[in-house]
Amino acid sequence: MSIGYACLVVGVTKTNMRKVIKKNATEEKLNEVTLHNLLALEKMIDYNIENDIKLYRISSDVIPFGSSPVNGLPWWDIFKETFERIGHKIADSGMRVSFHPGQYTVLNSPTEETVARAIEDLQYHNRVLECLGVNNEHKIVLHIGGVYEDKKTASKRFIENFQKLEPAIQQRLIIENDDRLYTIEDVLSIAKQINIPVVYDNLHHAVNPSGNFNSDAECILEAGKTWKEEDGRQKVHYSQQALDKRSGAHTATIYLEPFMEFYNSLYDQTIDIMLEVKDKNVSAVKCINATRLNPSIKYLEKEWMRYKYLVLEHSPERYQQIRTLLKDKESYPVEQFYQLVKDSLEEEAQRGNTINAAQHVWGHLKEEADEKETRAFERKLIAFQEEKATVKSLKNQLMKLAQKYEERYLLQSLFFDV
Q: Are residues 134 and 243 in the same domain?
A: yes
Q: What is the DSSP letter of 250?
A: B
Instruction: List the domain range (segments joined by +) for residue 195.
Output: 3-290
Q: In the 3-class helix/strand/coil scheme, how is 13-73 assigned residue by residue?
A: CCCCCCCCCHHHCCHHHHHHHHHHHHHHHHHHHHHHHHCCCCEEECCHHHCCCCCCCCCCC
Residues 316, 341, 275, CA angle at the centre, nearest 5°?
155
Do 316 and 280 belong together in one domain? Answer: no
Judgement on whether residues 33 and 66 belong to the same structural domain of the protein? yes
Which of 259, 290, 321 finishes a domain? 290
Q: What single-letter amino acid sits at 173?
A: L
Is residue 178 left, alpha or beta, with left meaning phi > 0 and alpha meaning psi from -120 to 50?
Answer: beta
Does residue 302 share a domain with residue 178?
no
Same domain? 267 vs 302: no
The CA-based diameter of the chain, rounded to the nearest angstrom, is: 72
372 CB contacts (<8 Å, ≥6 apart)? none
Given 258, 290, 322, the domain boundary residue is 290
CB 225 within 8 A of CB 240: no
Q: What CATH number should be reported for the domain holding residue 252?
A: 3.20.20.150
Spatial separation of the C-alpha atoms in residues 353 and 356, rounded to whole Å: 5
Please say which residue of 255, 273, 290 terminates a domain: 290
User: pLDDT tens, position by position, for the chain (418 residues)?
Assistant: 899 999 999 989 889 999 999 999 999 999 999 999 999 999 999 999 999 999 999 999 999 999 999 999 999 999 999 999 999 999 999 999 999 999 999 999 999 999 999 999 999 999 999 999 999 999 999 999 999 999 999 999 999 999 999 999 999 999 999 999 999 999 999 999 999 999 999 999 999 998 888 899 999 999 999 999 999 999 999 999 999 899 999 999 999 999 999 999 999 999 999 999 999 999 999 999 999 999 999 999 999 999 999 999 999 999 999 999 999 999 999 999 999 999 999 999 999 999 999 999 999 999 999 999 999 999 999 999 999 999 999 999 999 999 999 998 999 999 998 6
Query: Is the domain of 261 the same as that of 384?
Result: no
| Pair (278, 309) in one structural domain | no
Indicate whether 246 and 359 sit together in one domain: no
Whole-angstrom Cα Rg for the chain: 23
DSSP at 161: H
| Strand order across the beta sheet in which 3-6 lies | 96-98, 55-57, 3-6, 272-275, 235-238, 198-201, 173-176, 140-143
Shared domain for 311 and 238, answered yes or no, is no
Does residue 281 sit in the same domain as residue 357? no
Sign of CA dihedral 321, 323, 326, 327: negative
Tell me the pTM: 0.94
Number of domains in the chain: 2
> 310 and 172 in one domain?
no
Asked if residue 127 and residue 41 are part of one domain, the reply reads: yes
